[in-house]
């Protein structure tokens, strides 16, 4: 088994046209993913196929071209902008004599680098083990060190069987720890619901500007950067929106097209916060030429996690790059459906606050019992320590 790519290693990217459309945008996104993982992009190999080759995905002729490109650029490994089966990955690595990383493994690698909280690290590790469990050939002996190593192997057990048993134990431990964290999250959520506080979640495509908007509204100082998946850990803050109204605003992980199912499953507790929100602020990079496809990708993930029916206000961000004017759009019922602003310059932020105040007022008017009250100022982080 090959080692994980180190920062600065040279990569050859492979993007095949399988009639999925938006090839330029997909390739641009792959380059950003590779750079975010710490690789340098040396060359790109393209091509067209009606369908993937069952054994090599790209076909023998294309694999020979990739091999020549590897040698010409003295590259270290290959990144496919596609999901490869375990068999395809093994066959490609034998043919190319180098590491082959597919889109899923690349995204998981970036998540592993970005995770900061205890919960985030557990979620990423669980997703990685789920993805790699079908690719077990050898190389899982590093798990033995976590359990003491010598003396673990049963009589007559092969190395592969030992590795699978160790991996299964680790997965069980991770799931137990995450279940404990999820219980604590439910307790916090019930506390917020008891105060009748409007819960608002920021959602959107990765690098759309969610964390920048979160910081501009709350002055929270959450990490924000011009890179993919800068935010993995959910952070929540109280936000005063006027006339005694408060909301709890949460910054969440960004979505991406073809988000690995292993990540969605591992992050289900975190993503559940989005599904349980009263309102979603769907942040869109209005300067992106691929914004419509990105909106569709986000909505697809929202549907997958059970948040498709949660009301949305679309926040068209980065108007400083498009030279659009700040403003709002309402539907035929008078509800605000879009806000045009720039989180970086602050243009239009007041309009978004007014939209949130209007939503909080409507929620307080519609809900029985006490009006929307004051929520505590908190960060939704996991307190469990290892």
How far apart, in Å, are the Cα atoms of 227 and each of 36, 37, 103, 207? 6, 10, 17, 6
Q: How far is CA 356 from CA 247, 277, 315, 359, in A?
A: 8, 13, 12, 5
Q: How confident is the model at residue 130 (pLDDT cuts 50, 70, 90)?
A: confident
Residue range 176-204, pLDDT digits in tens? 888 887 787 677 666 655 556 889 999 99
Domain 10-101 in CATH 3.40.50.11060? The answer is yes
**In contact, 209 and 344? CB cutoff 8 Å:** yes
pLDDT for residue 54 is more than 50: yes
pLDDT of 15-50, one tens digit each? Answer: 999 887 778 888 988 998 999 888 999 999 999 999
How many angstroms separate the first and last alpha carbons of the chain?
29
* Mean of pLDDT over the chain: 80
Residue-level pLDDT at 260 = 76
Give the model's pLDDT for residue 155: 46
Binding-site sequence positions for GTP:
204-211, 229-233, 251-254, 317-320, 342-344
Confidence of residue 376 (pLDDT cuts 50, 70, 90): very low
What are the counts of helices (DSSP H) followed by strands (DSSP E) for the chain? 13, 11
Q: Which of 362-371's residues contact partners 24+ apart within 8 Å by CB, and which partners? A: 363/198, 363/278, 364/196, 364/245, 367/196, 369/196, 370/196, 371/196
Tell me which DSSP letter residue 252 carries.
-
Cα distance between residue 126 and residue 174, in whole Å: 6
pLDDT tens digits, one per residue of 204-217: 998 899 989 999 99
Q: Residue 241 contacts by C-beta under 8 Å, 6 or more apart in sequence?
A: 247, 353, 354, 356, 357, 360
Same topology, domains 10-101 and 196-365? Answer is: yes
Q: Which secondary-structure segment (H or E) carries 10?
A: strand 10-17
Q: Which of 17, 26, 15 is nearest to 51 (CA)?
A: 17
For domain 196-365, give the CATH superfamily. P-loop containing nucleotide triphosphate hydrolases (3.40.50.300)
Q: What is the mean pLDDT of residues 236-258?
A: 82
Residue 144 banded pLDDT, cuts 50, 70, 90: very low
Binding site listing: 204-211, 229-233, 251-254, 317-320, 342-344
> Per the annotation, where are the binding residues for Mg(2+)?
211, 231
Instruction: Indicate the pLDDT class of residue 147, thresholds 50, 70 and 90.
Output: very low
Mean pLDDT of 334-363: 93
pLDDT band at 158 (very low <50, low <70, confident <90, very high): low
Predicted confidence band at 119 (pLDDT cuts at 50, 70, 90)?
A: confident
Higher pLDDT: 244 or 323? It is 323
Q: For residue 164, what pLDDT is reported?
A: 75
Question: Domain coordinates of the chain in residue numbers?
Answer: 10-101, 196-365
Cross-strand bridge partners of residue 339: 315, 328
Pair 229, 206: CB distance under 8 Å = yes
Tell me: pLDDT of 170 over 80: yes
* DSSP per position, 85-131: PHHHHHHHHHHHTSEEE-HHHHHHHHHHHH--SHHHHHHHHHHHHHH
What is d(CA 236, CA 218) in angstroms, rounded to the nearest whole number? 9
**pLDDT tens-digit map of 262-301:** 777 767 666 777 888 999 999 999 999 889 989 999 999 8
Q: Retrieve residue 385's tokens.
A: 């320590």
pLDDT above 80: residue 5? no
Lowest mean pLDDT among 143-147, 185-189, 298-302, 326-330: 143-147
pLDDT digits (tens, 9 = 90+) for 339-349: 999 999 999 99
């Amino acid at each position: 088994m090959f080692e994980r790519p180190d920062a600065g290693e040279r990569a050859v990217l492979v993007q095949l046209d399988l009639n999925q459309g938006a090839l330029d945008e997909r390739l641009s996104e792959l380059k950003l993913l590779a750079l975010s993982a710490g690789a340098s992009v040396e060359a790109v190999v393209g091509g067209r196929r009606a369908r993937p080759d069952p054994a090599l995905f790209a076909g023998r002729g294309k694999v020979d071209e990739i091999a020549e490109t590897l040698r010409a650029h003295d590259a270290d490994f290959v990144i496919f902008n596609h999901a490869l089966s375990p068999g395809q990955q093994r066959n490609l690595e034998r043919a190319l004599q180098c590491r082959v990383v597919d889109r899923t493994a690349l995204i998981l690698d970036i998540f592993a680098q970005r995770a900061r909280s205890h919960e985030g690290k557990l979620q990423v590790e669980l997703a990685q083990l789920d993805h790699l469990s079908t690719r077990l050939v050898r190389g899982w002996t590093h798990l033995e060190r976590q359990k003491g190593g010598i003396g673990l192997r049963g009589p007559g057990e092969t190395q592969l069987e030992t590795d699978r048993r160790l991996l299964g134990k680790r997965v069980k431990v991770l799931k137990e720890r995450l279940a404990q964290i999820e219980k604590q999250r439910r307790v916090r959520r019930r506390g917020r619901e008891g105060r009748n506080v409007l819960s608002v979640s920021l959602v959107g495509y990765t690098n759309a500007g969610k964390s920048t908007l979160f910081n501009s509204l709350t002055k929270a100082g959450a990490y924000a950067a011009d890179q993919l998946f800068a935010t993995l850990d959910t952070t929540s803050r109280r936000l005063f929106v006027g006339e005694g109204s408060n909301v709890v605003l949460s910054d969440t992980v960004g979505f991406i097209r073809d988000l690995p199912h292993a990540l969605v499953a591992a992050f289900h507790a975190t993503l559940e916060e989005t599904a349980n929100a009263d309102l979603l602020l769907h942040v869109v990079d209005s300067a992106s030429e691929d914004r419509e496809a990105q909106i569709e990708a986000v909505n697809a993930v929202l549907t997958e996690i059970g948040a498709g029916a949660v009301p949305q206000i679309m926040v068209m961000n980065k108007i400083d790059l498009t030279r659009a004017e700040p403003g709002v759009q309402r539907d035929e019922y008078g509800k605000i459906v879009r806000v045009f602003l720039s989180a970086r310059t602050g243009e239009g932020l007041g309009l978004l606050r007014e939209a949130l105040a209007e939503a909080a007022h409507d929620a307080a008017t519609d809900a029985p019992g006490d009006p929307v009250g004051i929520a505590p100022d908190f960060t939704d982080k996991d307190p469990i320590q290892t």
